[in-house]
Amino acid sequence: MIIILVISGLALGSFINALVWRLHKTESSIKNKKDKKYSILTGRSMCPNCQHKLSPLDLIPVVSWIVLKGKCRYCHKNISISYPLIEVLTTILFIFSYIYWPYNFNGRGIIYFVIWLFLLVGFISLAIYDIRWLTIPNKILVWLFSLVIIQILVTFIFYHGGLHYLLNNIVGFLIGGGIFYILFQLSSGKWIGGGDVKLGALLGLYLSSPTYAILLIFFASILGSLYSIPLLITGKASRKTLIPYGPFLIISTFILILFGSHIRSWMHLKGLYI
């Protein structure tokens, strides 16, 4: 199982690199949008700098980067270390998810796990995009929403999710999206971006629990503060600096999916009921 996860993690990490780059190319110019070579589905892999087509030997995750010493074979320009790092990160998150998966690996546990791995691919892409360009692309959100709706339908139809389950999804959606929507409206989009509202709603829907939706926002705010306060103190950022919020929401979701039940029982022990 670990071998399968390593291979798929590296391959999908490599896919994430290509996806994020192509998505940005096509989103940033109308001319590129029509250009088939940037298509995610049909375009061939190419060097981000000279755009030379890459041979299969250049496309082995991590290995190619090391063998080529981080340079393109054709134009000799440096290829960012972020490429192999993203491949490694994806693999580590896959293995970590497998080790700490809260369900049994039978029946719906496996279905949820496979959906989770595909969600992770979208989450990582989205986080990188948000860090680099401070927006959350709708194309990735649509893909993530589809996966979450598949999971909800599977649970509802085959595992007797029931109305209570659906209601939890809807309340999660309303809390996750609603709090950010209010912040967005109050600040006319200065404190939080429109993409964060949609992402909050999506994650609330997926977490399928009002408690988790509240914890999602709570953890993301703590992580966001831990990240930005040192930057403010050292003067590396001002109050006007835009800080991507998507990655914090995604890290919080990762924590809640894998360790949510532990956190919940700890809270009950301490008499904290939400």
Which stretches of the chain bind Zn ion, using CB under 5 A?
A: 47, 49-50, 72, 74-75
Euclidean distance between CA atoms 206 and 218, whole angstroms? 17
For residue 272, count other CB atoms closer than 10 A to its CB.
Answer: 9
The residue (of 32 and 45) whose beta carbon lies closer to Zn ion is 45
Shortest spacing between CB 16 and Zn ion, in angstroms? 20
Shortest spacing between CB 50 and Zn ion, in angstroms? 3
The residue (of 77 and 190) whose beta carbon lies closer to Zn ion is 77
CA dist 182 to 127, 178, 186, 200, 202, Å?
A: 23, 6, 6, 12, 16
The residue (of 49 and 135) whose beta carbon lies closer to Zn ion is 49
Shortest spacing between CB 53 and Zn ion, in angstroms? 10
The residue (of 55 and 225) whose beta carbon lies closer to Zn ion is 55
Shortest spacing between CB 136 and Zn ion, in angstroms? 29
Residue of 207, 204, 195 whose CA lies nearest to 257: 207
For residues 168-195, one letter each, b for 16 or more C-beta atoms within 10 angstroms of the residue's C-beta and e for the rest, the string is bbebbbbbbbbbbbebbeeeeeeebbeb
The residue (of 73 and 108) whose beta carbon lies closer to Zn ion is 73
Shortest spacing between CB 41 and Zn ion, in angstroms? 23
The residue (of 74 and 165) whose beta carbon lies closer to Zn ion is 74
Report the first-to-last Cα separation within the chain, whole angstroms.
37
Euclidean distance between CA atoms 209 and 98, whole angstroms? 22
Q: Estimate the share of the chain in helix, then strand, then coil, as percent rounded to the nearest 5.
A: 70, 0, 25
Shortest spacing between CB 108 and Zn ion, in angstroms? 46
CA 39 to chain centre: 21
Euclidean distance between CA atoms 122 and 148, whole angstroms? 12
Shortest spacing between CB 39 and Zn ion, in angstroms? 20
Euclidean distance between CA atoms 167 and 107, whole angstroms? 23
The residue (of 64 and 211) whose beta carbon lies closer to Zn ion is 64
Contacts of 86 by beta carbon, 8 Å cutoff, 6+ apart:
13, 16, 17, 124, 128
